[in-house]
Structure 1
Amino acid sequence: MLVAAAVCPCPPLLVPEVASGAAPELDAARDACADAVGVLAASRPDLLVVVGAADQEGTGTYPQGARGSFRGFGVDLGAFLGTAVRTPTGFPGSDPAGELPQSLAVGAWLLSRTQWADAPVEGLRVGERLTGDACVQEGRKLAVRAERVALLVMGEGSACRTLKAPGYLDERAEGFDEAAARALGAADTAALTALDETLACELQAAGRAPWQVLAGAAQGAGLGGQLLYEDAPYGVGYFVAVWS
């Protein structure tokens, strides 16, 4: 059964070494993410699953110890899923093809900041175009994996909030993000499930699929929600929420 969840954005800029001189701009988001992960640790789960979007089709799983890398952003830094070790990526035998997708790599980095070592950790990537029904089914399967399951859900809202946003300005973006923020803050599984897949795709809202996995996992769990952070730096909707 799902006992806790944390929702966090997953831009590589959360990693100070990647952000470099712009690192202080996301300090508030980093602090909120740390608080959210702390709630997961306090829930004492038997299993933690990091869920994040990827541009691959379907879903894919990653075992504890899977490697994530930030080499593509000019930083020789990586993180192992479910360990307290942050390490340079130039280790013998590293296989770039088998590395965590960006969203899960950022999730692994967030866990490394909290010295997470209390429960087994796995990763689940979810295709950005996976249907809502399929996402909900994935979530239901996660919820029965252990007696006490926690999720770290990585994803963003629309990328179309300003003229300089990655997806340029779209007048529908603010309304989409407001609805998502309300649902995340209220632990409203029905509202998350109802998010429009086509609109989310048009607004480049990569969090839609992971959020709907969360909705499926939380059905019947009776969790309450709290929104810890909401902003749109760089024209992208970032939310941090906890469910417990």
Structure 2
Amino acid sequence: MPRSGSLSVRPVTSIGVIARAVVLPHPPLLVPELVPGSVESTEAVRSACLAAAAELAAAADQWFAVGPGAGARTLGARARGSFAGYGVDVPVALSRDAAGAAEELPLPALIAGWLRERAGANSVRVRLVPPEAGELADAAAELAELDRADDRLGLLVLGDGSNRHGARSPGSQDDRAPAFDDAVAAALGTADTAALRAIDPVLSAELGTGGWAPWQVLAGYAEPGRWSARMLYSGAPFGVRYHVAVWERG
């Protein structure tokens, strides 16, 4: 669980191999086969995610994804898996030539691979980050190191907002959720790294927010004033707030 005051990540100056980043949610409902009765009602967030992924693929054929995880772990591009655990055997590969044995992949990796395939990118590696200050700092430092590589790289940041929007939401209604996610949307939509770093980790946990750790990594990596952003979508179709934004290095 995030701890108040635990974050010590600071922006890292980098030379700019990563020119574009996209911030997306990672719910199973993005995959039409998993929600056969709700494809139409989930189309808005799905279309926004696919549009953002297409923009990322246009900037870079290779991606690096950061998503939430109970423990730190990096999944290489050779990994393959399936959404079978979510009800339908929709296969997923993290690269075009993935040759590893199929394994049980965590949801952020499944969504990253699914988006990669539909956007036509070559590969994606996925780093799972727990909400611990040391892990957040390490992940931000890794992004800065990757930013000094020779090849272009796209950054995919995966994380959901609060799951407590409305009486039928997964986490039950919390009247603090709308203001919380409005502030997150404003920060993501303006590339405001200071506002992202200022998100209260205790409140975030109380509101069932899945994106806190990945957003902190982005805020720790992205140099203030060097990025612009566009919000493509922000809504809570089933009681969970989803934000879709595209960040461009200026």
TM range (shorter): 0.7 to 0.9
3-state SS, counterpart of residue 36 of structure 2: helix
- Is the 1:8–1:153 contact (alpha carbons within 8 Å) kept by the matching residues of 2? yes
* CA distance in 2: counterparts of 1:210 and 1:34, whole angstroms: 19
2:204 corresponding residue in structure 1: 200
* CA distance in 2: counterparts of 1:179 and 1:136, whole angstroms: 23
- Is the 2:57–2:120 contact (alpha carbons within 8 Å) kept by the matching residues of 1? no
- Is the 2:81–2:102 contact (alpha carbons within 8 Å) kept by the matching residues of 1? no
Range with bigger deviation, 170-179 or 143-152: 143-152
Instruction: Say yes or no: does 1:144 pair with 2:152.
Output: no
* CA distance in 2: counterparts of 1:68 and 1:213, whole angstroms: 26
What amino acid is the match of 2:21? A
1:25 corresponding residue in structure 2: 41
- Is the 1:126–1:209 contact (alpha carbons within 8 Å) kept by the matching residues of 2? yes
Q: Deviations over 1:39-59 (max 9, x none)?
A: 2122236x52111112x23x1
What amino acid is the match of 1:216? G
2:87 corresponding residue in structure 1: 74
Instruction: Say yes or no: does 1:173 pair with 2:174.
Output: no
What amino acid is the match of 1:183? A
Select which of 26, 32, 36 maps to 1:16: 32
Map 1:224-235; keep pairs closer than 5 Å.
224-235=228-239
The offset of 1:69, in angstroms, is 2.0
Q: Deviations over 1:185-213 (max 9, x none)?
A: 00111111111111111111001111111
1:36 corresponding residue in structure 2: 52
2:7 corresponding residue in structure 1: none
* CA distance in 2: counterparts of 1:44 and 1:79, whole angstroms: 20
- Is the 1:101–1:125 contact (alpha carbons within 8 Å) kept by the matching residues of 2? no
The offset of 1:24, in angstroms, is 1.4
1:53 corresponding residue in structure 2: 68
* CA distance in 2: counterparts of 1:227 and 1:33, whole angstroms: 11
The offset of 1:156, in angstroms, is 0.6
Structure 1 residues 174 and 79: CA distance shift in structure 2, 3 A: same
Structure 1 residues 11 and 237: CA distance shift in structure 2, 3 A: same
3-state SS, counterpart of residue 219 of structure 1: coil
Select which of 118, 125, 128 maps to 1:113: 118
What amino acid is the match of 1:94? A
The offset of 1:218, in angstroms, is 1.1
* CA distance in 2: counterparts of 1:114 and 1:43, whole angstroms: 11
Q: Deviations over 1:142-164 (max 9, x none)?
A: 12212543211111100001111
Q: Which has the higher helix share?
A: 1
The offset of 1:136, in angstroms, is 4.2
2:102 corresponding residue in structure 1: 94
* CA distance in 2: counterparts of 1:93 and 1:110, whole angstroms: 20
What amino acid is the match of 1:42? A
* CA distance in 2: counterparts of 1:209 and 1:35, whole angstroms: 24
1:238 corresponding residue in structure 2: 242
What amino acid is the match of 1:215? A
* CA distance in 2: counterparts of 1:63 and 1:93, whole angstroms: 12
Give the number of equivalent residue pairs. 229
State the TM-score, normalizing by the size of structure 2: 0.84
The offset of 1:219, in angstroms, is 2.0
CA-atom RMSD, angstroms?
A: 2.2
* CA distance in 2: counterparts of 1:21 and 1:35, whole angstroms: 23
What amino acid is the match of 2:110? A
2:8 corresponding residue in structure 1: none
2:11 corresponding residue in structure 1: none
Percentage of pairs with the same residue: 41
State the TM-score, normalizing by the size of structure 1: 0.86
